[in-house]
Structure 1
Amino acid sequence: MSKELTAHELMDQELVDTIRERLDSNRKALHDLREVTRQLEMMNRKLQESEALKSHFLSNIRNEINNPLTSIMGLSRQLITKPDAVENTALVGPMIYMEAFNLDFQLQNIFIAAELEAGEALPAYAKVDVAGVVETVLDLQVHQLSRKNVAVNKTIAKPLFLVSDAHKLQIIIMNLLSNALEFSPDGGEIEILVKSRDGGLYLMVRDNGIGIAPADQGQVFDRFKQLESGTTKGHPGHGLGLSVCKSLAELMEGSITLTSAPGEGCRVEVFLPEVSIDVNMTAQDSNVFLFDEPEEF
């Protein structure tokens, strides 16, 4: 009798153990299902946010392209209807150039952002005259700087050569200077510092504009993200500039940081390490620029 009870007890214990294992397995499966559901919901929210950002970007970029195009068409028409008015040409010509320059700059940002998104923006390393790149960018922005009467206080180490990508370096500097100029007050000042540091290139651009609140600084490098309230409300832009700078800096194994406070302007610092390649295998003069040389007016 005791043997039969022992056998029954063993069978009952095995049944209890089996049920317990199945319950534990079901609990784990339910936990895993909840975790997968949570991750899917999070991914869905991110996709919705991404789509909303892209929709806003497309709406915004339409204005960024249409506005200068409309201006160029209208100003060009003035030249056509009054071809003999010399004073008209002297006034309208620079305006057409600035609108065309702004449009070209916006399009270049869109093109490089598309290449970055597709993983096609590969560095083309060569020996770069960094001072020459910076001076060219300043020459290209001379009309915009003059329009707002913004002074540039620059400290550029010369000679300064670095194995890097001249095109991408120019895009970074163009965007940093353009941002600093956009948010600087009329009669403001922009500081530019370029020098060698830790075997690479250190670039700093600082303005005395409206600044960015600490709570918003984490978003300024997000692609398609443009702050719409507070310090940046009412300013044009499509939310690509700083994200392009960050992506290009990281593509060249560098880094970018921003320091700012409301009413105290912004300071953006970029570090690009020198790349170890055989410069004899590259073109000696890599300073070939994306934008046309500035015209004299």
Structure 2
Amino acid sequence: QGLIAADRAKMDFFRFVTHEIKSPVSTAQSAVETALELGAARMAPAVEDMLSRAVGRLEHAGEMVRNLADFTRGGDLGAENMGEVDLNRLVARIAEDLQELASRRGITFELDLPRSPVTVVSSRSMLEKIIQNLASNAVRYNREGGQVRIALKTADGNLRLEVADQGIGVDPADQGRIFEEFYRTPAAQEMTNMGTGLGLPIVKKFVKQLGGKVLLASVPGKGSTFTVELPIQLSGGERAGEGPPPDSPSVSAEAGS
């Protein structure tokens, strides 16, 4: 009972913090970005560099706020956003959104998606956060010139999502803690100080709420593969991997090569 109360108090605190600082952080970031845009031509290089670094720090603070909000609102996200989700389109859009960040370091995407659209009935927000967090981590902790591979398959009533990178990997000693709140591996901290330690806990939480599981396979220095397995229902009430009833339109869930 005491642990439940402590967990509830922690979540209440996170909600309070995100509510109080979300607007000031967003306002400050917009102000600094505007100052950079309007005054860059007249700024001394040192001032421009200082403001650019300030934008980066504010972006990090904004990411932390968004992650805290996601972490404390998991149940609400699922209840509010149930509906049809085109998984192929969702994965492609997330990869496109990350393309600019990836291209700065010569990182490319390989998408292995079913040939036919796979539309499922689920929480759009939760699925989006799961894929987005795994894909952004795969970019952030990848090597220069590396590749991020995202694969989708459906069979036997389940969705299987794989996100693989060629980056720093996770040491076996850290793999048991990788989904802990705010935990970042020593290798991740050495590579960048921009992570929040909440991306993977959010993935684990949302996957669990959707009735699935998330697995990690990793080799230090060679990369990581995160596999998410979820029970899903295809649009129209059909379970993934089952054939449509007689005389009904065919819904394909076969994975392409």
Q: Aligned pair 1:126/2:86, yes or no?
A: no
Which runs of no fewer than 5 residues in structure 1 stay unpaired? 1-39, 85-94, 280-297
- Alignment partner, residue 168 of structure 1: 126
1:242 is aligned, of 200, 206, 209, to: 200
- Alignment partner, residue 140 of structure 2: 182
* Structure with greater Cα Rg: 1
Task: Tell me: CA distance 1:150–1:160, structure 2 relative to 1, closer, same or farther (3 Å).
Answer: same
1:150 is aligned, of 86, 90, 107, to: 107
* 1:167 alignment partner AA: S
Q: Deviations over 1:131-173 (max 9, x none)?
A: 0111111121121111111011110113111121111101011
| TM-score of the two chains, using structure 2 as the length reference | 0.69
How far residue 253 of structure 1 moved from its aligned partner, in angstroms, is 0.4
How far residue 127 of structure 1 moved from its aligned partner, in angstroms, is 2.0
The alignment partner of 1:233 has SS state of helix
1:232 is aligned, of 178, 188, 196, to: 188
CA distance in structure 2 between the partners assigned to 1:146 and 1:99 by the alignment: 21
* Conserved? CA contact 1:134–1:173, under 8 Å: yes
Normalized per residue, the structure richer in helix is 1
Q: Which moved more, 1:192-201 or 1:119-128?
A: 119-128
2:220 is aligned, of 262, 269, 272, to: 262
CA distance in structure 2 between the partners assigned to 1:97 and 1:130 by the alignment: 33
The alignment partner of 2:128 has SS state of helix
CA distance in structure 1 between the partners assigned to 2:135 and 2:167 by the alignment: 12
2:179 is aligned, of 221, 224, 232, to: 221
- Alignment partner, residue 141 of structure 1: 98
Task: Tell me: CA distance 1:225–1:102, structure 2 relative to 1, closer, same or farther (3 Å).
Answer: closer
How far residue 82 of structure 1 moved from its aligned partner, in angstroms, is 5.6
* Conserved? CA contact 1:249–1:272, under 8 Å: yes
CA distance in structure 2 between the partners assigned to 1:143 and 1:164 by the alignment: 29
Query: What's the RMSD between the two structures over aligned residues?
Result: 3.7
1:42-191 equivalences under 5 Å are 73-81=31-39, 105-116=63-74, 120-123=76-79, 124-158=81-115, 159-191=117-149
* 1:260 alignment partner AA: S
Kindly tell me the number of residue pairs found equivalent between the two proteins: 211
* 1:153 alignment partner AA: E
**Aligned-pair identity (%):** 25
CA distance in structure 2 between the partners assigned to 1:224 and 1:125 by the alignment: 28
